[in-house]
Amino acid sequence: MQVASEVSPVSPRHPLAIGDSRRLLAIVAGQGIELGTFFAHVRGVAAQLPAGLHAINLCEDRYRFMVAFCAVALRGQVNLLPPSRAPAVVLDVQQRYRQTYCLGDALLDALPEGGFLLPPELPCLAGEVPQLADEQLVAIGFTSGSTGVPSANPKTWGSFLTSTAQNLRALRDLWADEPPSLVATVPPQHMYGMEMSVLLPLLAPATLQAGKPFFPQDVAQALAEVAAPRLLITTPVHLKVLVESGVELPPLAAIVTATAPLSQALAADAERRFRTEVREMFGSTETCIFARRRTALEQAWSLLPGVRLVPQPEGTRVHAPHLAEPVMLADLVELLPDNRFLLRGRRADLLEIAGKRASLGDLTRKLQAVDGVVDAVVVQLEPEPGHAVGRIAALVVAPHRDEADILRDLRMRVDPVFLPRPLRKVAVLPRNETGKLPRDAVLALLRQ
């Protein structure tokens, strides 16, 4: 059980946000909110929060999420960021941490019993610029569960300050002298959404658009609400929909994407379609962002300043200025000169059957490339009793193809020992808000 950490009285303290009180921090329903007003909202909400050690921040409105996140930290409480806002997931997180309450806004369908609902008009309270100590534990982020049970990852304010400064250096060349406007399709509870759409406008000269647009026309409208230079923060799943929709977007300084592998073809299509650069970021809930690349033109990743990778037999150890200690990831890498590297999959994704080798990632890409397949995923099941190796299985979205035809076409691309059995057609894959596929949800569909 983890609780709010004690903070040393000599720990350096830093403001919740940079800039003077008149800096434009956010656009909410077309109206600008200055930094001074934000600070007043944070102080006002902090004064009304319930007592407790932890708060699960479920706010849908991105500005209210930001206010609530900072207010919770200002009270000395810890923000819990579950991998999903599904009631069962929220309840699980709530039961793992004592003295935990939920808070949300009016956009939520329902708030768990005993939760704190932000008032329609946020309270304001005068006072000094809110500050936090570097050592203060401000958040615990949870992995998506795409490879198993979600794990908890504590984050201090000092680590966020350092990682955000790195992210700013990785993106700064995308806009000119004017502060960028940020529109994000990824939820702020996800660590990538937290880094790019909450911490970046707080700790860099940037303006936040408070919505969470989903459909292509909503994205276009959100971008039209804000001033240039515009930065679209999204995921490969959302980017694919935008490219295929035919929607026209206002001029963009760049598109930033993460959370799942971005194909070179999709990156190139997006750059042509929207006449801008697509920059892919690489990281995890455990590490935060630590590398970048322009996927349309290169396969290798460039490490952010101060980051060092140490390959291990089962993955890669990540050393970074914002990490208190190295973090072990399951990803396998090939180091290149000039602080660059190539991803080589994960040890757990590597398959060896009948003396032949393949990877789940490569099999998934080949299945997705079959004509008529809209989306797909390949997994390995747990071994059955008496068997040393688990079967290969797949879910596929292909409205106009039947399963036998898909398998026949796939047989032309992969060795027969790696053909998925079963291969099951579904209407849609159980992707979460960032496009990832929690393993338990995939297995549940395969069992049906």
329 in the same domain as 227: yes
281 in the same domain as 236: yes
What is the greatest pairwise CA distance in the chain?
Answer: 70
- pLDDT tens column, 203-224: 998 999 999 899 999 999 999 9
307 in the same domain as 161: yes
Q: Which of 313, 346, 379 is the last residue in one of the domains?
A: 346
Res. 431: pLDDT tops 50: yes
Q: Which residue has the tokens 């209407």?
A: 427
- pLDDT tens column, 336-374: 999 999 998 887 777 877 677 788 888 998 999 899 999
In sign, the C-alpha dihedral spanning 79, 286, 215, 232 is positive
Pairing of strands 31-34, 331-336: unpaired
Q: Can you give the length of the chain in residues?
A: 448
Q: Is 233 exposed, middle or buried (0-12, 13-18, 19+ CB in 10 A)?
A: buried
Q: CA–CA separation, 144 vs 359, rounded Å?
A: 21
- pLDDT tens column, 119-129: 999 999 999 99
DSSP assignment letter at 432? -
SS3 308: strand
Q: CA–CA separation, 405 vs 381, rounded Å?
A: 23
- Percentage of the chain modeled with pLDDT above 70: 95
Phi, then psi, of 416 in degrees rounded to 5: -55, -30
Question: So what's the pLDDT on residue 4?
Answer: 42
pLDDT band, very low/low/confident/very high, at 439 (cuts 50, 70, 90):
confident
- Residue 190 pairs in a beta bridge with none
Residue type, 193: G
- Mean of the per-residue pLDDT values for the chain? 90
Averaged over 378-401, what is the pLDDT?
A: 85
321 in the same domain as 264: yes
248 in the same domain as 397: no
Q: Is 2 within a domain?
A: no
The answer to whether the beta carbons of residues 445 and 394 sit under 8 Å apart is: no
Q: How many other CB atoms are found less than 10 A from the CB of residue 437? A: 21
| The Cα angle at residue 143 between residues 433 and 78, in degrees rounded to 5 | 100
- The count of domains in the chain is 3
Residues 6 or more apart whose CB falls under 8 angstroms from that of 329 comprise 284, 286, 287, 315, 316, 317, 318
381 in the same domain as 335: no
Question: So what's the pLDDT on residue 388?
Answer: 63
How far, CA to CA in Å, does 281 sit from each of 70, 167, 176, 291, 306? Answer: 25, 9, 20, 6, 16
Q: Which of 346, 369, 385 is the last residue in one of the domains?
A: 346
Q: Is 10 within a domain?
A: no
Question: So what's the pLDDT on residue 21?
Answer: 95
42 in the same domain as 177: no
Question: So what's the pLDDT on residue 151?
Answer: 82
Is residue 379 within a helix (H) or strand (E), and if so which, with residue range? strand 375-380
162 in the same domain as 247: yes
- Percentage of the chain modeled with pLDDT above 90: 69
- pLDDT tens column, 154-166: 999 999 999 999 9
Pairing of strands 288-293, 277-284: antiparallel
256 in the same domain as 164: yes
Is residue 162 within a helix (H) or strand (E), and if so which, with residue range? helix 157-171
Q: Which of 322, 346, 370 is the last residue in one of the domains?
A: 346
Averaged over 427-439, what is the pLDDT?
A: 85
Q: Is 119 within a domain?
A: yes
Res. 110: pLDDT tops 90: no
- pLDDT tens column, 230-278: 999 999 989 999 999 999 999 999 999 998 889 999 999 999 999 999 9
SS3 140: strand
188 in the same domain as 295: yes
Phi/psi region, residue 275 (left: phi>0; alpha: psi -120 to 50; beta: rest), is: left
Containing structural domain, residue 84: 21-131
pLDDT band, very low/low/confident/very high, at 147 (cuts 50, 70, 90):
low
How far, CA to CA in Å, does 299 sit from each of 11, 243, 349? Answer: 41, 21, 20
CATH number at residue 413: 3.30.300.30
Is residue 293 within a helix (H) or strand (E), and if so which, with residue range? strand 288-293
pLDDT band, very low/low/confident/very high, at 1 (cuts 50, 70, 90):
very low
Q: How many other CB atoms are found less than 10 A from the CB of residue 153? A: 18
369 in the same domain as 258: no
pLDDT band, very low/low/confident/very high, at 114 (cuts 50, 70, 90):
confident
Q: Is 137 within a domain?
A: no
Q: CA–CA separation, 448 vs 445, rounded Å?
A: 5
Q: Is 112 exposed, middle or buried (0-12, 13-18, 19+ CB in 10 A)?
A: middle
Query: Between these two residues, 150 and 9, which has the higher pLDDT value?
Result: 150
The answer to whether the beta carbons of residues 235 and 53 sit under 8 Å apart is: no
Buried b (16+ CB within 10 A) or exposed e, 10-19: eeeeeebbeb
CATH number at residue 219: 3.40.50.12780
341 in the same domain as 358: no
The answer to whether the beta carbons of residues 333 and 314 sit under 8 Å apart is: no
pLDDT band, very low/low/confident/very high, at 116 (cuts 50, 70, 90):
very high
Res. 386: pLDDT tops 80: no
- pLDDT tens column, 17-29: 999 999 999 999 9
- pLDDT tens column, 313-338: 889 999 999 999 999 998 999 999 99
Question: So what's the pLDDT on residue 2?
Answer: 37
E strand intervals along 87-228: 100-104, 116-117, 131-133, 137-142, 152-156, 181-184, 207-209
Query: Between these two residues, 434 and 137, which has the higher pLDDT value?
Result: 137
